[in-house]
Structure 1
Amino acid sequence: MSAAAQTEANSEHTVFRYLATAIEDGRESARGARAYAKDAGFAAGVALGCVGTMLLAPDGRTGLDAPAWVLGLAGSAALPARHRFPRAVLLVTVVAMLAYQLRGYPDGSPVLPVLVAVYRCIRAGHRAFFAATALASLAISLGSLPLLPLGDDALRAALEKRFLTFGWVVACAMAAAMRIQHEAMLAQAEERAAENAQRSADEERLRIARELHDTLTHSISVIKVQAGVAVHLSKKRGEEPPPALLAIQEASGDAARELRSTLHVLRNADGGAEGVGLERLPELVERARGSGVPAEVAVAGERPELPAEVDRAAYRIVQESLTNVARHAGPAAAVGIRVSYEPDRVVVQVDDDGAADPAAPPAPGIGLTGMAERVAALGGELHAAPRPEGGFRVRAELPVRQPDGPAAGAAT
């Protein structure tokens, strides 16, 4: 790739990344605005609850003046920040409640914001901070009672209300702790289910590997040995082995190697088929020619360092297409293979001039379905259908652009 083309590709990639970042930032801002609006609405609901209790709570003692409303609603005003600053919001709500009580206003009104702040603080994991704050606030609340001008009955009622308030706070904290424990139990159950599913999948992979080894390995080995013996006998008689027999011998050897690679994948969850990619395309075409399928290859562009899964998928698509040609296209069908390397994708196209009829497209079999699944897993596109002029076309477009980086083809 020339320096100018490299610079242009890098510039386009920079612009795309900038646009993608701007769009993502906009989405994050919109999500943040929706979350803040939701928290503000919740805080407004708590404030309305405080107003209701303040209007219903007067008991003949200190009347509700402007400071009462300020202290009664201060805790609610701090609630929208409870997710980011749970300890600070807990302090604000507790201080507002204590100040409300110390001024002798009717008890109970600012306790709603305190309960919300306690729940959030426990969910955030600040249990020790909550315990210290709760004990200190209880001591201050009870210690302030003798300072209020209350008779014995009113003092006893105020004492009961403050112990009741403390009980609500403890109950709220316990509810938050139980919610944490419940979520932990659910997470453990999901983890165990995932482990069981993985174990079942591993056992099934091993079972399939054993079946393949016990059946296909034996059959392919027999074919390879018999082909080798036939070639040896032909040469021993001074005859040139038939090309089809040589193709069978070579194909059986390749099939044995690929079967071993497949068994390795099945026996190792993180394994991958090694040595299968477009660099082996000439060998694949030669085998097709040896089996009687005339095939020609054209390559456009400079081959980059492809991701292993893309390289492997492109090879398998050509391989399956050639197999379909040999099985369905007819004895006189010729094949044209074109591989195009582009900055952000690899295009593989296989055309044959066989007997496929555009008016009667074939039903997708296992081969075409497997191709479609390979391409879809990589985020590409597959077109497989009869050509208008006759024959069949398979065209796969496989993206090679990395998720967080430049296209693989842009590297030099």
Structure 2
Amino acid sequence: MRGIRITRGQLGDAALAVVVGVLVLTTTAADSGTAPVDLLLVVVGSAALAFHRMAPRAVLAVASASGAAYVLHAHPGTLAALPVIGAVHTAARVGHRAVAAAGAGVFLAAYLATGPGGQPVLEKSALLAGWFLCAVVTGQADRNWQAYLRQTEQRALEAERTREEAALRRAGEERLRIARELHDSLTHSISIVKLQAGVAVHLARKRGEDVPPALLAIQEASGEAMRELRATLEVLRTDEPAGTPALLVERARAAGLAAELAVSGEERPLTATVDRAVYRIVQEALTNAARHAGPAKVRVELAYGHEELTVRVEDDGKAVPDRPPVPGIGLTGMRERVHALGGTLHAGPRAEGGFSVRARLPLGEAA
């Protein structure tokens, strides 16, 4: 049926229930025979084990009650306790040790009541008590082991997050260092060139001379270089996004690019690092489309999943699969940013023509 998914764990639980039921029936039928009511009790107690993950206490209650009724009616051997032992183990594994001990006590009391109290019955009861004790101990040990594994995984995730934060901090410090170097050296030199060119133009016009075209070109180029350098320094000094992907799409439309935005899934707040990465990916992809795609349509898609966010920017421009572009600084920086967050990036021509950028970013805790 559609909508019903059976996991590997559920199949394993069902197989365990079948194996325990068959084992109990085959080992006890030879000694005591199996009446229909006995068969029903064994099937109920064993089948309950298939649901031990969902309701361990209920499974223990069913297994203990049906097991006690079975031994009181059929007087089987010690292997009749297998369903109860399994239920005791699973109850102790989830922390219900008192309930597990109570279920074991119910079965032991029923088993003691099946005989006149002679030596064989006492020995078998002591053996069963040892089995139940082992089931409780192994259940508790399994619980402690699972807690240790979760703790270890959490520590590993925390260490990875710390490394990523340290890498991002070092990258920020390096950007600030580069910005200071550019400001102290290059900005000064360009300012001198612009100033001297302006003075030369002013003196030439004051004397009534024709201003050389090369001098005007130097003055204009130096001014443009100063503006671009200031914009670059501003980007280096702060890596915070100056808007949203929707705003980037609106700007691209205003610049003449046929762009559209689509959002699917449950939209929710993002962490600062993921939000920054999404903004820069969309920004770089739209910039590349405006430069290289020609008159093309661009689609920006944000797909929110349960554990990851997929960012897809595709155009139907001039890129073709047999001439892949050479990765520039923009694509390289985009890839490094995605990999620093533990995500994946694919950027390249589409089979049907045009270019595609697809990034998968794992979602951390909400901002």
Q: Could you say whether these structures have the same fold, taking a TM-score greater than 0.5 normalized by the shorter chain as the test?
A: yes
Is 2:1 aligned against 1:31? no
Residue aligning to 1:84: 54
The code of the aligned residue for 1:192 comes to R
1:162-241 correspondence to structure 2 within 5 Å: 162-239=125-202
- Would the alpha carbon gap of residues 31 and 106 (structure 1) be closer, same or farther in structure 2, given more than 3 Å must change? closer
- Would the alpha carbon gap of residues 374 and 157 (structure 1) be closer, same or farther in structure 2, given more than 3 Å must change? same
1:78-157 correspondence to structure 2 within 5 Å: 78-103=48-73, 105-142=75-112, 144=113, 148=115, 150=116, 155-157=118-120
Q: Distance in 2 between matches of 1:172 and 1:310?
A: 51
The code of the aligned residue for 1:179 comes to D
Residue aligning to 2:307: none
Residue aligning to 1:274: 242
- Would the alpha carbon gap of residues 29 and 214 (structure 1) be closer, same or farther in structure 2, given more than 3 Å must change? same
Q: Please, which moves more after superposition, 199-208 or 172-181? A: 199-208
Is 2:25 aligned against 1:48? no
Aligned residue pairs total 322
- Would the alpha carbon gap of residues 49 and 254 (structure 1) be closer, same or farther in structure 2, given more than 3 Å must change? same
The code of the aligned residue for 2:230 comes to G
Deviation at 1:117, TM superposition (A): 1.2
Q: Secondary structure at the match of 2:75?
A: coil
Deviation at 1:131, TM superposition (A): 2.7
Matching residue within 383, 390, 399 for 2:349: 383
The code of the aligned residue for 1:383 comes to P
Matching residue within 223, 226, 244 for 1:246: 223
- Structure 2, unaligned runs of 5 or more: 203-215, 268-274, 303-311
- Structure 1, unaligned runs of 5 or more: 1-24, 263-271, 285-295, 326-334, 353-357, 386-392, 404-412
Matching residue within 260, 267, 280 for 1:312: 280
The code of the aligned residue for 1:315 comes to Q
Decide whether the 8 Å contact of 2:318 with 2:354 is kept in 1: yes
Q: Distance in 2 between matches of 1:283 and 1:73?
A: 69
Q: Distance in 1 between matches of 2:347 and 2:62?
A: 58
Q: Secondary structure at the match of 1:88?
A: helix
Q: Please, which moves more after superposition, 123-132 or 173-182? A: 123-132
Deviation at 1:364, TM superposition (A): 4.0
Decide whether the 8 Å contact of 1:64 with 1:105 is kept in 2: no
The code of the aligned residue for 1:42 comes to L
Residue aligning to 2:270: none
Decide whether the 8 Å contact of 2:63 with 2:83 is kept in 1: yes
Q: Secondary structure at the match of 1:40?
A: helix
Decide whether the 8 Å contact of 1:375 with 1:381 is kept in 2: no
Give CA deviations for 1:62-115 in whole Å, capped at 9, x if unaligned.
Answer: 665444444344311332233323222212221222223323613313211111
Deviation at 1:54, TM superposition (A): 0.4
Give CA deviations for 1:334-357 in whole Å, capped at 9, x if unaligned.
Answer: x957564689876557879xxxxx
Deviation at 1:207, TM superposition (A): 3.1
Q: Distance in 2 between matches of 1:77 and 1:362?
A: 61
Give CA deviations for 1:266-305 in whole Å, capped at 9, x if unaligned.
Answer: xxxxxx4335979689999xxxxxxxxxxx9533367899
The code of the aligned residue for 1:213 comes to L
- Would the alpha carbon gap of residues 243 and 337 (structure 1) be closer, same or farther in structure 2, given more than 3 Å must change? farther
TM-score normalized by the length of structure 1:
0.62
Matching residue within 38, 41, 52 for 1:71: 41
Give CA deviations for 1:146-189 in whole Å, capped at 9, x if unaligned.
Answer: xx4x4x7xx21111111211221121121111011011112212
- Would the alpha carbon gap of residues 279 and 222 (structure 1) be closer, same or farther in structure 2, given more than 3 Å must change? farther
Residue aligning to 2:235: 258
Matching residue within 211, 235, 257 for 1:299: 257
Decide whether the 8 Å contact of 2:316 with 2:354 is kept in 1: yes
Q: Distance in 2 between matches of 1:359 and 1:42?
A: 55
- Would the alpha carbon gap of residues 47 and 214 (structure 1) be closer, same or farther in structure 2, given more than 3 Å must change? same
RMSD (CA atoms): 4.6
Residue aligning to 1:5: none
Decide whether the 8 Å contact of 2:52 with 2:59 is kept in 1: yes
Residue aligning to 1:395: 355
Residue aligning to 1:9: none
Decide whether the 8 Å contact of 1:303 with 1:341 is kept in 2: yes
Q: Distance in 1 between matches of 2:260 and 2:16?
A: 60
Deviation at 1:55, TM superposition (A): 3.7
TM-score normalized by the length of structure 2:
0.68
